Amino acid sequence: MRTKIVAGNWKMNNNLSETNTLIESLKSQGNLGSTRVIVAPSYVHLAQAVSLTSDSSIEVAAQNMHEAKSGAFTGEVSPAMLSSIGIETVILGHSERRAYYGENDATLAKKVDNALDHDMDVIFCFGEELEDRKSENHFEVVKSQISNALFHLKASAWAKIILAYEPVWAIGTGETASPDQAQEMHAFIRNLIQDQYDASLADEVSILYGGSVKPGNAQEIFSKQDVDGGLIGGAALNAADFTTIIKSI
């Protein structure tokens, strides 16, 4: 059985007291069921978030990390730094990192390797832009993003990989891929992994959908066979909304 996961990417939102409040209200929502729940606050609040969630099943992830192990990279954060404060999961390849900070497949392949070297789980994001979909190039784009950054991995490394399909045109826009569009892409991705590795590995990989998931549409999207949960942006900033999304699985 694949693991069901709902992860909240808080992006550059919430100061320290807002971070505390949001985590405390998530904890007060009661039993979140068997779904793996992950929140990704800003770097500066990660240690505090790890401490606040230590008495709950909520996990804490980083939104990014550097591809090098250490060195003269002013302003950057290494996986060893994250590990040392109890972070075991990192989001890599978010479209905002690709668009605004020039992260490409080659850099992301290095980041993935570095995270795995530190025994971290990786939530690897990818997805096509609107132009790609309009020109019916979306499958090719997704194929190259996944194969360039991940297909050098040994089969055994995939136990640490969580995929997150996030069509760029659906992120923060209020426009969601239809449940059928999500299912179609997720099935394509699973086939891709099966072709490169094997059917049992493909069957074990959790593939999340991200892009304007809200309490009102989560259930229908999550009901699709190859959708194993979601990566949530805006709606993850509200404890009640995030909880409703978690419980929609």
| Contact map string, positions 135 to 174, toward ligand PGA, x by CB under 6 A | -------------------------------x----xx--
Nearer to ligand PGA by C-beta: 79 or 233? 233
Q: According to CB under 6 A, which residues from 93 to 132 bind ligand PGA? A: none
The answer to whether the CB of 231 falls within 8 A of the CB of 219 is no
1: CB partners within 8 A, 6+ apart: none
Q: Site residues for ligand PGA, window 50-89 (CB under 6 A)?
A: none
Q: Which of 218, 206, 201 is nearest to 153 (CA)?
A: 201
Binding range to ligand PGA, per CB under 6 A, among 58-66, 79-87, 200-208, 209-217: 209-217
**Is the Cβ of residue 42 or residue 194 nearer to ligand PGA in the bound state?**
42
- CB closer to ligand PGA, 37 vs 202: 37
Residues in 170-189 that interact with ligand PGA by CB under 6 A: 171-172
Q: Which residue is nearest to ligand PGA (CB)?
A: 233
Question: With binding defined as CB under 6 A, does residue 211 bind ligand PGA?
Answer: yes
Q: Which of 41, 93, 229, 233 binds ligand PGA (CB under 6 A)?
A: 233
Give dist(CA 161, CA 168) in Å, integer: 21
Q: How far is the CB of 172 from ligand PGA (least distance, A)?
A: 4
Among 38, 231, 239, 245, binds ligand PGA (CB under 6 A): 231
Sites of contact with ligand PGA (CB under 6 A)? 9, 166, 171-172, 210-213, 231-235
